[in-house]
Amino acid sequence: DTGVSQDPRHKITKRGQNVTFRCDPISEHNRLYWYRQTLGQGPEFLTYFQNEAQLEKSRLLSDRFSAERPKGSFSTLEIQRTEQGDSAMYLCASSLGGAGSRSYEQYFGPGTRLTVT
């Protein structure tokens, strides 16, 4: 078990550019979550998947944001036409899913820190 991994760890981009982040969950986990964390705040939910199905999107996820999990394994989060307000840490988490004991516990990756200049 290698844990949740995210790539890249840091991204600096200019305003107006598009960026894409990748998350690889723990291999047997069927739930995958994206959160955004700004300085001094707790993580805020963006969207989540069960296998390849996107189940819910937060109102924070404007139409410039899109997320996919095409084969129910890794996921990508794309931000188009980045704005300075998009600067944040983007966190990915996964959980086993199902009804078993502790199946709901979420395990987090190290995050991708985005800086928009």
Partner 1 sequence: AQTVTQSQPEMSVQEAETVTLSCTYDTSESNYYLFWYKQPPSRQMILVIRQEAYKQQNATENRFSVNFQKAAKSFSLKISDSQLGDTAMYFCAFMKQSGNTPLVFGKGTRLSVIA
Q: Which of residues 60-99 bind partner 1 (CB under 8 A)?
A: 91, 93, 95, 97-99
CA 43 to chain centre: 11
Q: Pick from 12, 16, 44, 115 the residue near partner 1 by CB under 8 A.
A: 44
The least CB distance from residue 75 to partner 1, in Å, is 14
Q: Which is nearer to partner 1, 25 or 82 (CB)?
A: 25
The least CB distance from residue 100 to partner 1, in Å, is 10
Let me know: does 14 contact 2? Beta carbons within 8 Å.
no
Helix (H, G, I), strand (E, B) or coil at 81: coil
Let me know: does 15 contact 2? Beta carbons within 8 Å.
no
Which residue type, as a one-letter code, is found at position 51? N
Q: How many residues bind partner 1 (CB under 8 A)?
A: 29
